[in-house]
Amino acid sequence: MGSRGLDGEDLMKLFDATGPNPRVVRMFILEKALDIPAEVLVLSIGEARSAAHLARNPLGEVPVLETDSGEFIAETLAICEYLEELHPEPVLVGRSAVERGETRMWTRRVDLRICEPIIYGFKYSPVSFHADGSLFPVNSRVADAMTMLVRTNLDWFDRQLQDRAYLCGERYSLADILLYTFLQYRTEIGQPLRPKWTALTSWFARVAARPAAVESAQCRLGSKSLDGTV
Ligand SMILES: N[C@@H](CCC(=O)N[C@@H](CS)C(=O)NCC(=O)O)C(=O)O
């Protein structure tokens, strides 16, 4: 399913990149089997901070979704919620007010307690491409504190997952996509799940086995990439 203009051209477009936030949107799009082309920006050379991209998102970040009518929507969760409104099935936010409330409760917890400290842990670390110091001056103490905070918060998530298959019980949702993507990224930067997190480890394997989890690893969305190749 894709978005086409009157003369058949694609309208909706994702501004994509490597990094966990864009991957959340890719995985969400793949779960919904949507056909949305993507333009991939290279973050390490500052493409997200170019004048062209700042006009789309003044924060100079990805993901950004260009809508069929030419508006730009930034912020990972806002993009996913927008896509769910346009394409409700399969349901990943919620079928009812209660389900949507429950999913948003979990996405908020994951975002504040896991995603944000992981991102800031990276941004303040010496390996960050922000290491020129302009925005996030290297501060290893801040980076280490963020890493420890994530660890403590994962203890809590592990306890919550003891009695359920997914964060929203039996219902797989956007909250699982968000947590999975950031824990996968955390593994890639050398912080794998700890063996003592048994419930979290089982949950992670369950989500990792989904085709969308595997496919979202690559920035390769849509039937048509921008240079016209598949
Ligand atoms: N709050 C934003 C965070 C977006 C974000 O931090 N994206 C990173 C990639 S994972 C980025 O664009 N970094 C570019 C940069 O910092 O130059 C969201 O939810 O989408």
Give me the tens of pLDDT residue by residue for the chain, a chain 230 residues long: 555 555 555 689 999 999 999 999 999 999 999 999 999 999 889 899 999 999 999 999 999 999 999 999 999 999 999 999 999 999 999 999 999 999 999 999 999 999 999 999 988 888 776 655 667 888 899 999 999 999 999 999 999 999 999 999 999 999 999 999 999 999 998 999 999 999 999 999 999 999 999 999 999 887 544 443 33
- pLDDT confidence of residue 27: 98
pLDDT at 124: 87
CA-to-CA separations, 208 to 1, 26, 67, 138, in angstroms, rounded: 24, 14, 29, 33
Query: Rounded to 5 degrees, what are φ and ψ at 174?
Result: -55, -30
Q: Which atom of ligand 1 is nearest to the CA of 23?
A: 10
Please say whether the beta carbons of 17 and 41 come within 8 A. Answer: yes
Q: Specify whether the CB–CB gap between 42 and 19 falls below 8 A.
A: no
8 CA from centroid of ligand 1 (Å): 31
Closest ligand 1 atom number to CA of residue 17? 9
pLDDT for position 130: 61
From the CB of 181, is ligand 1 less than 6 Å away?
no
Substitution site in 62, 116, 122, 134 for ligand 1 pocket (most atoms within 8 Å of beta carbon): 62
Q: Does the Cβ of 125 fall within 6 Å of ligand 1?
A: no
pTM: 0.92
pLDDT at 137: 82
CA nearest ligand 1 atom 15, residue: 61
Asked if 75 contacts 22 with a C-beta cutoff of 8 angstroms, the reply is no
How confident is the model at residue 144, as a pLDDT?
Answer: 93
Cβ of 111 less than 6 Å from ligand 1 = no
pLDDT of residue 128: 75
Say how far apart CA 227 and CA 229 lie, in whole Å.
6
Query: Residue 127: what pLDDT?
Result: 77
- Whole-number pLDDT of residue 187: 95
